[in-house]
Amino acid sequence: MAEQESLEFGKADFVLMDQVTMEDFMENLKLRFEKGRIYTYIGEVVVSVNPYRQMELYGKDTIEQYRGRELYERPPHLYAVADAAYKAMKRRAKDTCIVISGESGAGKTEASKYIMQYIAAITNPTQRAEVERVKNVLLKSNCVLEAFGNAKTNRNDNSSRFGKYMDINFDFKGDPTGGHINNYLLEKSRILQQQPGERNFHAFYQLLLGASDASLDALYLSRDPEAYRFTKEGAGNNCLGGDRANHKAVRDAMKVIGFSPEEMDSVYKILAAILHLGNVRFVATEDAMKTENEELVSRLAELTSTDAEELLNTLLHRTVAAGGGEVIRKAHSSNEASYARDACAKAFYERLFCWIVARINKVIEVKNYDARLHGKNTVIGVLDIYGFEIFDTNSFEQFCINYCNEKLQQLFIELILRQEQAEYQREGIEWQHIEYFNNQIIVDLVEESHKGIIAILDEACLTAGKVTDALFLESMNSRLRKHPHYTSRKVDPTDKSMEFGRDFRIKHYAGDVTYSVEGFLDKNKDTLFQDFKRLMYNSADPVLREMWPEGKQSITEVTKRPLTAATLFKNSIVALVENLASKEPYYVRCIKPNDQKSPHLFDEERCRHQVSYLGLLENVRVRRAGFAYRQPYERFLLRYKMTCEYTWPNHLMATDREATQALMEQHGFQDDVAYGNTKIFIRTPQTLFCLEEARAQLIPIIVLLLQKAWRGALARKRCRYLRAVYTIMSYFKRYKVKSYLLELVQRFQAVRSMADYGKSVEWPEPPAVLAQFQANSKLIFRRWRARQIVNNIPPSDMEQIKAKVAALDVLQGLRKDWGCGRNWGGNYLVSVDENPVMAGQFAKRVEALKEKVHFRSVLFSCHVRKINHCNKSTDRALLITDRHLYKMEPRKQYRVMASVPLKMVTGVSVTSGLDQLVVFHMQNCHGLVVCLHKTRPADDNRVGELVGVLVDHFRR
């Protein structure tokens, strides 16, 4: 059963109605339509009501809700029946078919599109290119076939004027590999004339209103449909924007399918030729017939790639074989020429449509398929065919369409009954006879050999001499007058609703239909003179030549009489029914809620009539057959086991059947069920609703229990996960630390023997936890390395090293060149190299000062140029001891000119340049500004040495 919806939406399955009556059926159908529930089940049959509006029932999200689900798991939908057919095909390798039926405007074409879209969406998960190509062609073919096979009618803006059966082939993986399309009974009479308010086929208006100006000029067409006889009647019903957009969509679809540019040009040339052909008029002269506008004939010849003179002769004459190989050309009368022109126009369009279908089939046919290599090839068939039609005037087309529906209704009832009987036999349930109307008697009335209407019609068409439609009706009256489903005015003179000599009536399963015999003979003969066939076969256009293969026959060649239109249609329908009977069928029954195309109006009488002729009530009775519901034990328990203590959460009995019996007995429903071999059968819907109610009360409790258990399971899983994570992290950290330390030892184990004591060794990247450890290690290593370097320095150089370190601390980054790379002499003036003339005198002066003030050592001495506050410079000598700073006169044996205790020096200033300017800052007196000079060598920079010596001295 379908997923339970609220009762405010009615019953989701008509099988669950309390009473199987037409009133209850209509009440439930109306309620669901008004609530926006356009789909309802009858078991596995989907009843679809056209909503006449866009509904949020389709798309990727909805497709995912139905993918792989059973019919009863989700609310009724086209996707559900499409998925059921696909699963039956894939799981059981069973050919299936989906039969979509209903009258014009009930939504059959849209239903077939949604089914195709669903199958395309759920197949080819691996995105194989060839499968995607097949899917695209199958989907795009709908667009092209709608343009050339659909038309606007008073009942439907996009009415299919042909029947379509599409086989989709699948490989063993369930992916589409190809397909085949069969078309049935194109309504070619629509080319010539349409009912008021209706249009010709869409393709004409799309060409006239959607093609470019250049294209129309090339085809000698104008943009006005009223300019052409075949489109004039429907010219006031155009939708410019829609036709223009659809024309582009059709051309794009033809490109995707694989039509070449030349083929597309030929298609639109043929459409243009048909329009021009309708405008050809004939006038009688004293000598013979001729056309009003010979330029129009020339255009026709150009569009059909034929000779203009031959085309004109074909329009005005016909060739007859007189016997003995003699050929006679016979001129047409005005009526004969008009008939031949119209017959040619109809044949043109019919053959164009059949060529398009064949061209699509050539693209989508299964290629290079070997069952031994690729597995079994299975099929899903989709039948979208015209529904039962009752018009004010019903002719040959309605007769054929209604015969088709009689055959399909017969198949529908037979298959449903056969399925039900087979299921009862499998399950060991006693079958009870079901009363239903068997329409075999009506089918026989139409198709029975030598006695049926088609046989009588063919006989009339084959009779020599002048045979009229009235004589055909007379023949039917004499031979069928006693048939309970046939009548006419002559058979029943009291029935004045039929016109004498014109009308007859058939009592179809869907209701009584009155047919007019006018045109029956002509439409059944479907006469087209051989001259047209030979002319088109000899066309330079390969597409046209392909459409008329019989044109290659000679006029004198004796051929077998072709089958009539009715016999051809009967044979195709018989073959279709046999094909459908060999497959597992699924049904979509479409209902039109009103004739006003309103989304809010539900015409009860109109819908009641459709429910009646679709046999939906009989379908419910057959499906019920004493039992409203049946389900395999396993699935039944899966849904209702929580309502019984013996089956929840899992039963311990030997079989699912025993568990199901225990469940039903606990609820007290044992007298309302029957137990089959694999299924339980429930008689009344009330039992099922009680089970659903009990289940609905328990579901929230079970959900809470499951949520609690699931949340606990998730929490425990997360806890285990975190524990594992931290354990792994711990071991990994240890591994990283150990690896780092081993790497560190390996890199630094030989640094003692290196010349640079490991300065060139690169430190490894530490783990985050050892970043501080590495920083400390680097500090320790640098100290160790410094200690190693210091230990190797001679004691005599230590004072110089200490001074250089002090200078580095205060001058690094402030003065580029401070002499760190040279040997520092300190007391330069005692050096003969520095002071060759006065070195001895300076030494004596230093000794005298040492005896006088008792200093321990000379820190620095050098010649300087003193600069006073008047910016005057004088050469002097500078001597710095550990106690005083002396300014001396070199020219007077280094006599001391000024002495400043070293502790009075508060600071020294130097520049950042290369000059040797030094400023000594003193306490309580002016500073001393000097510039070191007369150095050896001349560019020897001693400012850094002076600063380093003083800083080192003051730091001690």
Q: Provide the H-helix boundaries in 833-930.
A: 839-853
Q: Which residues pair with 511 in a beta bridge?
A: 508
DSSP letter, residue 506: E
Q: Is 242 a catalytic residue?
A: no
Tokens of 239: 């939708």
Q: Which of 104, 266, 402, 439 is catalytic?
A: 104
Q: Is 109 a catalytic residue?
A: yes
Residue 341's nearest CA partner among 267, 280, 275, 268 is: 280
Q: Which of 96, 101, 123, 156 is catalytic?
A: 156
Tokens of 273: 């030729």
Residue 786 CB-density burial (10 A; 0-12 exposed, 13-18 middle, 19+ buried): exposed
Residue by residue, what is the 3-state secondary structure of 566-594?
HHHHHHHHHHHHHHHHCCEEEEEEEECCC
Q: Is 43 a catalytic residue?
A: no
Alpha carbons 719 and 725: distance in angstroms, whole number: 10
Q: Which of 28, 96, 101, 109 is catalytic?
A: 109
Q: Is 912 a catalytic residue?
A: no
Q: 3-state class of 193 per DSSP? A: coil
**244-257 b/e (C-beta count within 10 Å ≥ 16 → b):** eebbebbbebbebb
Q: Which residue has the tokens 């034990």?
A: 633
Q: Which of 48, 96, 159, 524 is catalytic?
A: 159
Q: Which residue has the tokens 């208006």?
A: 205
Torsion over CA: 323, 325, 330, 336 (sign): positive
Torsion over CA: 684, 686, 692, 695 (sign): negative
Q: Which of 43, 387, 452, 819 is catalytic?
A: 387
Alpha carbons 520 and 100: distance in angstroms, whole number: 28
Residues in contact with 689: Cβ distance below 8 Å, sequence separation at least 6, in sequence order: 16
Q: Are 150 and 110 in contact (CB under 8 A)?
A: no
DSSP assignment of 67-119 equals TT--GGGS-S-HHHHHHHHHHHHHHH---EEEEEE--TTSSHHHHHHHHHHHH
Alpha carbons 32 and 38: distance in angstroms, whole number: 6
Q: Is 665 a catalytic residue?
A: no
Q: CA 333 → CA 219, 283, 287, 530, 749, distances in Å?
A: 30, 10, 12, 17, 121
Residue 578's nearest CA partner among 451, 414, 456 is: 414
Tokens of 31: 């309620």
Q: Is 913 a catalytic residue?
A: no
Q: Is 305 a catalytic residue?
A: no
Q: Are 848 and 895 in contact (CB under 8 A)?
A: no
Residue 931's nearest CA partner among 861, 859, 873 is: 873
Q: Which of 101, 150, 160, 516 is catalytic?
A: 160
Residues in contact with 164: Cβ distance below 8 Å, sequence separation at least 6, in sequence order: 112, 145, 149, 181, 182, 183, 184, 383, 384, 385
Q: Which of 10, 105, 615, 825 is catalytic?
A: 105
Residue 292's nearest CA partner among 312, 306, 319 is: 312
Identity of the amino acid at 278: G
Residues in contact with 755: Cβ distance below 8 Å, sequence separation at least 6, in sequence order: none
Residues in contact with 367: Cβ distance below 8 Å, sequence separation at least 6, in sequence order: 178
Q: Is 160 a catalytic residue?
A: yes
Q: Are 142 and 113 in contact (CB under 8 A)?
A: yes
Q: Provide the H-helix boundaries in 428-552.
A: 440-447, 453-462, 469-480, 520-525, 530-537, 542-547
Tokens of 408: 């399909």
Q: Are 332 and 288 in contact (CB under 8 A)?
A: no
Query: In degrees, to the nearest 5, what angle opens at C-alpha 340 toward C-alphas 558 and 546?
Result: 60
Identity of the amino acid at 312: L
Residue 100's nearest CA partner among 304, 515, 384 is: 384
Q: Which of 103, 198, 389, 447 is catalytic?
A: 389
Q: Are 115 and 58 in contact (CB under 8 A)?
A: no
Residue 191's nearest CA partner among 224, 234, 138, 158 is: 234
Residues tagged active-site: 104-105, 109, 156, 159-160, 387, 389
